[in-house]
Amino acid sequence: MATGISVALANTVLNFLRGVTPTPPAGLFVKLHTGDPGAAGTANASVVTTRREATMNAASGGSMTLSSMSGSWAMTATETITHISVWDAASGGAFQFSAVFEHSEVGGQRRHPDHDHSRCGQQSDRCLTAVLRSIRLGGGDLLCRRWA
């Protein structure tokens, strides 16, 4: 599976178009991956198992932006982080969608002199940037947060 929304989320959106009111998720929780998370969101998982909660701003113009994250990830191994999966719970729960990073991070150490931090508000040159263009939710940064 290429990155994108889960079958369950697609069904929820399609049923909404039929007049079925969806139940909103308790939150959106982000998990790191070293490759495409696959259709179930479980493939190529990072050794970092913590899911961080993302709070999003209201959708506008066909996209939504990140308001805040519940924290950063403490890397416990040197690995290349290339994707994220988003879930409706901090553990367990249902897979919602996945996205690929605009550029990969190797253990939080790669520098990005070409990254425009004015888009994400960070002054750090160490960040993660997930672009939602692959799931047709719009462009822009999903997250850009320091990680140590």
- Token pair for residue 108? 């939080």
pLDDT of residue 37: 95
Neighbours of 72 (CB within 10 A): 16
pLDDT of residue 23: 93
pLDDT of residue 140: 38
pLDDT of residue 130: 41
Tens-digit pLDDT string for the chain (148 aa): 578 889 999 999 999 999 999 999 999 999 999 999 999 999 999 999 999 999 888 888 888 888 888 888 887 888 888 889 999 999 999 999 998 876 655 554 443 444 444 444 443 333 444 433 333 333 333 344 333 3
pLDDT of residue 95: 96
pLDDT of residue 106: 55
pLDDT of residue 128: 44
Q: What is the dihedral of CA 134, 136, 140, 146, to 10 degrees?
A: -50
pLDDT of residue 69: 86
The residues, any chain, with a CB within 8 Å of residue 144's CB and separated by 6 or more, are: 66, 117, 119, 120, 121, 122, 127, 128, 129
Given a contact cutoff of 8 angstroms between Cβ atoms, the answer to whether 68 and 103 are in contact is no
